[in-house]
Amino acid sequence: MQKTKYFIKSIYTFLWLFLLISSSSLIASKYDVSSISEELKKDANSVFRLNNQEYIFHGPSAYTERIETVVTIMKEAGKSSGYLVIPYDSHSKARFVEGEIFDASGKSIRKIRHKDLVDYSAMQGFSLYEDNRVLTYDPKIFQYPYTVRYVYEISYRRGMYYSNTFFPVESFNSSAESAVLTILFPEGLTVKYEEYNIPEGLKTKIADKKYIQWQWKFKNIPAVKHEYLAPSLRDISYAVMFACNEFTFES
């Protein structure tokens, strides 16, 4: 009987270790630089493995922006893509959820916490803008390539009084494995959008009891090499511009 219990315990221990090792291997291989296709590496200083942006309109007086981004910095010229900048003001609240840095093999080398971020005034020396602030983080990694992941959200206590534009790839010499824009809003609220350089039928629509959901999914977007006298990237890249038809703003 004692031998049987020992045997069962040994099996459970083995299975637990196996699952732990397998899980760690899967996470590591997920961000392994060698898994990036040659097409996406071409002319790329940085590769966005994931660029997810979600906008939830709660009504004309509030909305939430949720961001998850994973970017591989291929070389020094692409390091600016790895900087984190979260703007906020007296009408919004920024919440950093989590962050992590991975080496070239996809192995985690550093966890990023809220206390690691720097919080400062966006317009220092100008009292008119003293409420405008930014949370920032610089990975300070000098061995390339590496990958950085950020998850954060911004809650706005006002409406979106301007149009916003989503770019799956936001700069020259950057590529993207996956980029997703999601917009959710309650029935009765009007949200308008305009697509640029996007194939017809890419947007999907889902409606439930609480929200209408629009979503655009992009896959494997190669980098555009910056050249002298090249047109603006905004003129040739995929983009979705959107805005709420009504909003309120407290003075």
Domain boundaries, the chain: 31-244
Q: Are 198 and 214 in contact, with CB atoms under 8 Å apart? A: no
| Amino acid letter for position 153 | E
124 or 236, greater pLDDT: 236
- Residue 207's pLDDT band, with cuts at 50, 70 and 90, is confident
Which pLDDT score, from 0 to 100, does residue 201 have? Answer: 87
Q: Which of 45-59, 122-136, 161-175 has the lowest mean pLDDT?
A: 122-136
Which pLDDT score, from 0 to 100, does residue 104 have? Answer: 97
Q: Which of 24-38, 64-78, 102-116, 179-193 has the lowest mean pLDDT?
A: 24-38
pLDDT (average), residues 140-169: 93
Say yes or no to pLDDT of 52 above 90.
yes
Q: Within 13 Å and on the Cβ side, how many CA atoms surround 139?
A: 29
pTM for the predicted model, two decimal places: 0.85
31-244: CATH topology? Immunoglobulin-like (2.60.40)
pLDDT in tens, 70-126: 999 999 999 999 999 999 988 899 999 999 999 999 999 999 999 999 998 866 655
